[in-house]
Structure 1
Amino acid sequence: MSAAPRRILRDIALARSGDKGNRATLSVVALDAADFPLIDRCLTVDRVRTHFEGVVHGAIDRYTLPQLSAVHFVLHDALAGGVTRSLALDAHGKTLSAALLDLPLPD
């Protein structure tokens, strides 16, 4: 019998993003409010910083929005100078929010 595939954040949430200058904003919203406590517990600043090591060079601000079953992050110094200044391909909020949804959930 094979083991069940490991669940990732994408299985229980969606993400929205924005970018302005050298800052990206990422919101992770539970698809079902019952999953919000798990998202709130496992999406810490430290875990997001580790996930984006080498990409986010500044502070990370975290805001909990329980009424929306969401967690919102502001990633400072995350866009290689800003979308219009960066030579990186797709190094803006949309790409970062998709990457965040690949985080494995705890067993």
Structure 2
Amino acid sequence: MKLREIAHARTGDKGNISNIAVIAYQPEDFDFLVQHLSEERVGALFSDIVHGPVKRYELPKLGALNFVMSQALGGGVTRSLALDAHGKSLSAYLLDLDLPDRGA
């Protein structure tokens, strides 16, 4: 199953830091997200572009996880040569992540 089937996401940036909030559609899916979306897994997915630590913050009352990724935007908006200097497409890439079926 794809992450997008149970959650949506929103990306933000500040300097050379990108953050992605992953929000479960249904509150009962939050624990599943906590179990399957670790700092290590998200860091591995973005290992080609994120050169600093990935920190996960849990927001259980919102059913959300917020991933803060340092050294992720090629120096920041004013320095990056990337087409997506703000990193807005990163959330779409994360939502394509394969997760195990909930019954598995």
Q: Mark yes or no: TM-score above 0.5.
A: yes
**Pairwise CA RMSD:** 1.0
Q: Paired residues, what number?
A: 101
1:36-57 deviation per Cα after TM superposition (whole angstroms, max 9, x unaligned): 1111111101100110011100
Mark the structure with the bigger radius of gyration.
Answer: 1
2-side partners of 1:77 and 1:95: how far apart? 16
Contact 1:26-1:93 at 8 Å conserved across structures: no
**Percent identity for Structure 1 against Structure 2:** 55
Task: Output the TM-score relative to the length of structure 2.
Answer: 0.92
The 5-angstrom pairing of residues 23-102 of structure 1 reads: 23-102=17-96
1:36-91 deviation per Cα after TM superposition (whole angstroms, max 9, x unaligned): 11111111011001100111000111101100000001100000000221111114
1-side partners of 2:15 and 2:36: how far apart? 28
Q: Which residue identity does 2:2 align to in structure 1?
A: I
Q: Which runs of 4+ in 1 moved over 3 A?
A: none
Q: Which runs of 5+ in 1 are unaligned?
A: 1-6
Contact 1:59-1:75 at 8 Å conserved across structures: yes
| Matched residue SS, 2:61 | helix
Task: Output the TM-score relative to the length of structure 1.
Answer: 0.90
1:93 to partner: Cα distance = 3.1
Q: Which residue identity does 1:102 align to in structure 2?
A: D
Q: Which moved more, 1:57-66 or 1:82-91?
A: 82-91
